[in-house]
Amino acid sequence: MNCLEARIAKDGVVKEGNVLKVDSFLNHQMDIALMNEIGKEFYERFKDLPINKILTIEASGIAIAYAVAQQFGVPLLFAKKSKSINIAGDTYVAEVESFTHKNKNTVLVSKQFLTKDDHVLIIDDFLANGCALQGLISIVDQAGGTVEGIGIAIEKGFQVGGQIIRNLGYRLESLAIVESMDPATGKVFFREQ
Ligand code: G4P
Contacts of 65 (CB under 8 A, 6+ apart): 54, 55, 56, 76, 78, 123, 124
Residue 45: how many CB atoms within 10 A of its CB?
15
Number of domains, the chain: 1
pLDDT digits (tens, 9 = 90+) for 87-124: 667 999 999 988 777 888 899 999 999 999 999 999 99
Q: What's the CATH number where 77 sits?
A: 3.40.50.2020
pLDDT digits (tens, 9 = 90+) for 139-178: 999 999 999 999 999 999 999 999 999 999 999 999 999 9
Res. 84: pLDDT tops 80: no
Asked, for residue 93, whether it belongs to a domain, the answer is: yes
Asked, for residue 114, whether it belongs to a domain, the answer is: yes
- In the three-class reduction of DSSP (H, G, I as helix; E, B as strand; rest coil), residue 74 is classed as coil
Asked, for residue 190, whether it belongs to a domain, the answer is: no
pLDDT bracket for residue 82 (50, 70, 90):
confident
Q: Is the CB of 157 under 6 A from ligand 1?
A: no
pLDDT for res 176: 98
- Whose alpha carbon is nearest atom 15 of ligand 1? 126
pLDDT for res 103: 85
Q: Is the CB of 12 under 6 A from ligand 1?
A: no
Average pLDDT (129-147) is: 98
pLDDT bracket for residue 193 (50, 70, 90):
very high
Residue 182: how many CB atoms within 10 A of its CB?
10
Q: Measured between alpha carbons, how far is 183 from 16 in angstroms, rounded to an integer?
A: 6
Asked, for residue 191, whether it belongs to a domain, the answer is: no
Asked, for residue 192, whether it belongs to a domain, the answer is: no
Domain of 173? 3-185
Q: Is the CB of 161 under 6 A from ligand 1?
A: yes
Q: Is the CB of 27 under 6 A from ligand 1?
A: yes
Q: Which atom of ligand 1 is nearest to the CA of 131?
A: 4
- The 10 Å CB-count burial string (b at 16+, else e) for 136-172 is bbbbbeebebbbbbbbbbbbbbebebbebbeeeeeeb
Nearest CA to 15 among 191, 186, 151, 193?
186
pLDDT digits (tens, 9 = 90+) for 23-73: 999 999 999 999 999 999 999 999 999 999 999 999 999 999 999 999 999
- Whose alpha carbon is nearest atom 36 of ligand 1? 60
Mean pLDDT of the residues in the chain: 95
Please count the helices (runs of H) and the strands (runs of E) in the chain.
Answer: 5, 10
In the reported structure, the alpha carbon of residue 59 is separated from the centroid of ligand 1 by a whole-number distance in angstroms of: 10
Asked, for residue 54, whether it belongs to a domain, the answer is: yes
pLDDT for res 180: 98
Asked, for residue 48, whether it belongs to a domain, the answer is: yes
In the reported structure, the alpha carbon of residue 44 is separated from the centroid of ligand 1 by a whole-number distance in angstroms of: 25
The answer to whether 122 touches 152, Cβ cutoff 8 Å, is no
Q: Measured between alpha carbons, how far is 54 from 120 in angstroms, rounded to an integer?
A: 6
Asked, for residue 193, whether it belongs to a domain, the answer is: no
Nearest CA to 141 among 109, 167, 173?
109
pLDDT digits (tens, 9 = 90+) for 66-80: 999 999 999 999 999
pLDDT for res 102: 81
- Whose alpha carbon is nearest atom 12 of ligand 1? 100
